[in-house]
Structure 1
Amino acid sequence: MAWLYAEYIADELLRTGRLIPAGTLEFRAGRDTLALTIYLSDAAGELSGIRVVSQLDEWMSLTAYGHPWRDWVHTRFLALGEEARESGRGEDPDLELARASWRWLDRTELFATNIDAARPGGPEPYQGLDENARVWTPAWQLGLPLGHLAMHLF
């Protein structure tokens, strides 16, 4: 149930932000990236009683540019898997859903605007965002800034 709740929160944040049409692969990338962030940051197992506003700062720091989000995801999956093994209760169904979402995010590439080219301080002088310059990007790399911006707009 915790995974479905995380997915619901992420979906609502993205819909409220109105950054991208629901039903697109880009929307799914943002929703799944946010849902993973929400689910994996719930170390105390209190997701069902969570108040979204009180958690936004933590989620925003986890999705901020420069944060090693992918490494953080792997570390959290290892920790949760170890906890499940130590408790002897086996793999949690929520964790299985989260892992399936991660596999999709990591293995799927979307043809999207090259947002890295628009970052100030990059290898080339800042020229603004050229929306016609597209590159193949792992879904999670597109989902991170979408989710982060949606939380800003909340």
Structure 2
Amino acid sequence: MYLNNLGGIALSYNVQIKKVSTEIEFDLPKKMTTYSSGYDLIAAIASPLIIQPGERILVPSGIAISMPNYLEAQVRPRSGLAYKHGITVLNSPGTVDADYRGEIKVLLINHSKEQYIIQPKDRIAQLVFQEIPEIQLIQVDELTVTERGSGGFGHTGFKS
């Protein structure tokens, strides 16, 4: 823990990171601004990749991590890629579990009507770390009653 610039207490964790790609030279993921929550992941590829409209592709990030067992890393889309080009992370957010030691890969999909070319070292996603609470699931015969009850999709205000 440490004091943040607002005088509050912030948590701090150590996460080990290893370059696993030997195809290209690249920098480790970094935050683009002081208050960014995500670390940018790059395409650790030696030559361009083309994603056709509607196509999905698995892109290597070139890194593997080791983090405490009470953390998870989430692979999230980059808003600029989504807005400008229709490129997003298909399984968003993608979860990297604390016991996974393989290369982090990003599952991208092209939702646009045009092909998109990913260049080597392009920033393709962001990695955000989250705490995972310890949960005990308790089987019961009945759940507590709420006003909403079992109302699902669109139940709280969606009008068609």
Q: Shorter-chain TM-score: what band? A: under 0.3
TM-score by length of 2: 0.22
Report which of the two structures shows the higher radius of gyration computed on alpha carbons. 2
Would you tell me which structure has more helix in proportion to its own residues?
Answer: 1
Q: Where is the strand percentage greater, Structure 1 or Structure 2? A: 2
Higher RCO, Cα 8 Å, sep 6+: 1
